[in-house]
């Protein structure tokens, strides 16, 4: 189940990046504006892209939260230091040269 959600999550990430890059620039931030002959210049295309981006972003957040909840079940509650101490106990003792 986790692999399926992770695959959907990656696809949503690619779609989200693509939809943000296709949207018309509001201009000014970097001094780069798009001309009047842009690919998606009509208002309806802009509305569709903004709604599409919103839906993809919400689905991306849902998959992120579900992946976090699934991975939380696999986390050990012990400390890393406890694991190191257990390994030290299993090592053979070196005799001292006194």
Half-sphere exposure of 45 (CA within 13 A, CB side): 10
Number of domains, the chain: 1
Residue 46 belongs to some domain of the structure: yes
Residue 82 belongs to some domain of the structure: no
Spell out a b/e string for 5-38, using b for 16 or more CB atoms within 10 Å of the CB, else e: eeebbeebeebbeebeeeebeeeeeeeeeeeeee
Range of the domain at 1: 1-25+41-75
Residue 31 belongs to some domain of the structure: no
pLDDT (average), residues 72-81? 72
Residue 19 belongs to some domain of the structure: yes
**What is residue 92's predicted lDDT score, i.e. its pLDDT?**
65
The predicted-structure confidence for 55-75, as pLDDT tens digits, reads as follows: 999 999 999 999 999 888 777
Question: Could you tell me which residue, 37 or 78, shows the higher pLDDT?
Answer: 78
Is pTM beyond 0.75? Reply is no
The predicted-structure confidence for 32-53, as pLDDT tens digits, reads as follows: 555 554 455 556 666 888 899 9
**What is residue 27's predicted lDDT score, i.e. its pLDDT?**
59
Residue 35 belongs to some domain of the structure: no
């Amino acid at each position: 189940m986790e692999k399926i959600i992770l695959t959907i999550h990656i696809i949503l990430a690619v779609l989200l990046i693509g939809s943000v890059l296709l949207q018309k620039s509001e201009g000014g931030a970097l001094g780069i504006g798009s001309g009047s002959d842009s690919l998606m210049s009509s208002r309806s295309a802009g509305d569709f892209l903004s709604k599409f981006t919103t839906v993809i972003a919400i689905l991306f957040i849902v998959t992120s939260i579900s992946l976090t909840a699934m991975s939380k079940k696999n986390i050990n509650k012990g400390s890393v230091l406890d694991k190191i101490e257990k390994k030290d106990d299993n090592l053979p003792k070196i005799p001292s040269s006194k």
